[in-house]
Structure 1
Amino acid sequence: MTSGSKTWTLLCALTLSLCATTSTNASAPEDAATARALVASLGRPAPARTPFAEARFMKMLDKPLVVSGQLAWLGGDKLERTVEHPTREVSTIGDGEVTQQREGRSPRSFSLKRAPQLQLLLDSFVALLGGDSSRLEQAFTVQHSADGADHWTLTLTPRDAKLAQTVSRIDIDGSGNEPHCMRMQEADGDIAIDLLGDYAARMPTAPTRDALITLCRGS
């Protein structure tokens, strides 16, 4: 089980994948004004939804935790992550609160005021989904790389020191205008690898870290 802060950070990181191609274009070596106009045109209207399958590799466990479901940006600062397998769980962010509802249990909520640096991160993600690349770069340093096979990788490194104590980097892999995978490297050595969109159905029955990274890189 992840802590509340890790769960919140994961929600925001996954939300980034809904509009990963926007920040890819924002990182290209283009005239700043042209890049901003392009990013604005690529901003996705709410609601934006995508299926996902996640394998979380933790040092304390011999096998990864694997879940699958759907992620949604509902507009404004409202995000929703629904786990459908192995058990149903819905986590939402909105109106300054995080709420988790697990099947058979009472909802649990906590205020984002407990983690102001994560509130800033949420604001940046909402700006990204709205096509505002300059606000994204306030929260992350952004690096973009691509190969001849149309595969690209976007690497995000948190600027905020407190956030970097939880998440050291986020790598997003994709091709064309579609993100396929997201790898969130946590500062304690744990890693969460998410397969997105059509790739979600390609999660192996017994995933390994190396196999998923190879899949994400298009090898």
Structure 2
Amino acid sequence: MIAALRQPAPAHTAFAEARFLKMLDRPLVVSGQLSWLGDDRLQRRVEQPRAETATIADGEVTQQRDGKPARHFSLKRAPQLQVLLDSFVALLSGDAARLQQAFEIQREGDAAGAWTLTLVPRDARVAKTVARIRIDGLGDQSRCMHMQEADGDLAVDLLGPLAEKMPAEPTRAELQALCADSP
């Protein structure tokens, strides 16, 4: 199933993300484009509500916001970004071995139809930040990614054409229904 997700680099996909944080009354919603640039290089370009680009390359994260100087920090300071990098790179390169090295994997469904991968970080330090990632897909396309943080916060990303269906003020139930629905 993982090998079927392989895409040549660079690979780009639209995304819309809703972050459900305990300290906020409603989710934060951003949208833009995710890009795998090859190897261990990933870029997340947010277009709405404010332009921002985050790039992971060579073990470093660079964040650039319009009108502000770029911030640089080690990927080791952001375990959730390491998990994101490992999961995206392994999936987009079709590297099941890398995925199995970083995560315990539970598969449901079948490669031709609807499927779900649940990834639990193997590294105990990472698991203190990220409890699990669930990826819902159909055929050879990932449609949704749910990153459940250990503190209860949740980020749900709608990927590809599904990103256009992000509600203005989404609920967890609405996003679950979108992810479970066939196109």
Corresponding position of 1:17:
none
CA 1:92/1:204 → structure 2, altered by over 3 Å: closer, same or farther? Answer: same
- Confirm whether residue 203 of structure 1 aligns to residue 134 of structure 2: no
Residue 163 of structure 2: SS of its match in structure 1? helix
Corresponding position of 2:20 = 57
Residue 87 of structure 1, aligned match among 32, 39, 50? 50
Find out whether 1:107 has 2:70 as its counterpart.
yes
Q: Which has the higher helix share?
A: 1
CA distance in 2, matches of 1:65, 1:120: 21
The verdict on how the C-alpha distance between 1:208 and 1:118 changes in structure 2, with shifts beyond 3 A counting, is closer
Whether contact under 8 Å (1:151, 1:218) holds in the other structure is no
Q: Is the 8 A contact 2:36 2:43 kept in 1?
A: yes
When the two structures are aligned, how many residues end up with a matched partner?
181
Amino acid at match of 1:191: L
Q: CA offset at residue 128 of structure 1?
A: 4.3
Partner of residue 217, structure 1: 180
Which structure 1 segments of 5+ residues have no match?
Answer: 1-24, 27-38
* Residues 158 and 75 of structure 1: CA distance in aligned 2, closer, same or farther (over 3 Å): same
Q: Hey, what does 2:132 align to over in structure 1?
A: 169
Q: CA RMSD in A?
A: 2.4
The Cα of 1:130 is off from its aligned counterpart by: 2.8
Contact 1:98/1:112 (<8 A) preserved: yes
Q: Offset of 1:131 from its aligned partner?
A: 2.7
If the length of structure 2 is used for normalisation, what is the TM-score? 0.89
Gaps of 5+ in 2: none
Larger Rg: 1
Q: Report the equivalent of 1:160.
A: 123
Counting strand residues as a fraction of each chain, which structure ranks higher? 2
Partner of 1:194: 157
In the TM superposition, structure 1's runs of 4+ consecutive aligned residues that sit over 3 Å from their partners are 113-129
